[in-house]
Amino acid sequence: MASQALVSSSLTSSVETARQLFGGGKAGFGSRKSSSFVVKAASSQPPVKQGADRQLWFASKQSLSYLDGSLPGDYGFDPLGLSDPEGAGGFIDPNWLAYGEVFNGRFAMLGAVGAIAPEIFGKLGLIPPETALPWFQTGVIPPAGTYNYWADSYTLFVMEMAFMGFAEHRRAQDYYNPGSMGKQYFLGFEKYLGGTASTN
């Protein structure tokens, strides 16, 4: 009883809040109440960089020498010196890190699809039941069970490292020399591999 009363009161308060936000009228599927609003910028000035008084997370003198608060989310935390324009020796620069994060996000989205799709396709009967596994039974978490692939997990790991290493090496070459991948012979696919070194 108490739980029903709690749910009922929370639903009532949610409806009342929605009515207050959207004009106080009763909502209906047939109602066509028009409303207009104007969005204005709070300020036309560019954002001011955070100064030395900003919150710092385990900052060091070295990291504060180049992390001056001009970047979003700059709390001075850089124990590996990845954002140091000089300490990285030119191997890792902030642009490369931003370029890499775009690809990390794309791989994460592909991974989410790869985790969800087998379950959906299995329930629709589009793939064999033995391959319609939940993602946690595919070998990602060994105690949860593994699928018996065509090769042992060590062989698959080495192959994955080789193929991904090759792809990442070519991506790095395209970043440092835009368009260079379209000039190297690659089984007749050169015209499709021109690359742009663009992050979008």
Is 54 labeled as ligand-binding? Answer: no
pLDDT of 113: 92
CA distance 63 to 80: 9
Tell me how many degrees the CA angle 15-19-23 measures, rounded to the nearest 5: 170
Judge residue 67's burial from the number of C-beta atoms within 10 Å of its C-beta, 0-12 exposed, 13-18 middle, 19 or more buried. Answer: buried
Is residue 130 a known part of a binding site? Answer: no
For 181, residues 6+ apart whose C-beta sits below 8 A from its C-beta are 170, 173, 174, 190, 193, 194, 195
Enumerate the domain spans of the chain.
Answer: 149-200
* Residue-level pLDDT at 109: 95
- What are the pLDDT digits (tens) for 6-40? 344 444 455 455 455 555 444 444 445 556 666 66
83 labelled as ligand-binding?
yes
The answer to whether residue 42 scores a pLDDT higher than 80 is no
Cα Rg of the chain (Å, integer): 27
**Is position 101 annotated in a ligand binding site?**
yes
